[in-house]
């Protein structure tokens, strides 16, 4: 299968399946590094947003929150 075909097929997957595929691909080329609790929380939050379980902030909302 060509790269373009793989990309099209991957993009047709559900968000949760794309996250799992991305995780597997990264793990296949990167040496595992122990993760701190903060990194684990960050990854979980990104996955929650990507999967639509929670709604992220707009840039404006973020800037207002940290001001």
d(CA 6, CA 13): 11
Which pTM does this prediction carry?
0.47
> In the structure, what pLDDT confidence band is assigned to residue 35 with cuts at 50, 70 and 90?
confident
DSSP 8-state assignment for residue 57: -
| Averaged pLDDT for residues 51-63 | 91
**Residue ranges of domains in the chain:** 3-66
pLDDT band at 8, cuts 50/70/90?
Answer: very high
* pLDDT tier at 65, thresholds 50, 70, 90: very high
Asked whether residue 48 carries a pLDDT value surpassing 70, the answer given is yes
Residue carrying structure tokens 């968000």 = 15
Q: Is it the case that residue 1 has pLDDT exceeding 70? A: no
């Amino acid at each position: 299968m060509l790269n373009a075909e793989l990309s099209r097929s991957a993009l047709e997957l559900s968000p949760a399946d794309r996250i799992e595929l991305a995780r597997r691909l990264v793990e296949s080329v990167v040496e595992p590094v122990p993760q701190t609790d903060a990194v684990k929380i960050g990854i979980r939050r990104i996955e929650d947003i990507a999967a639509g379980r929670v709604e992220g902030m707009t840039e404006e909302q973020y800037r207002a929150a940290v001001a």
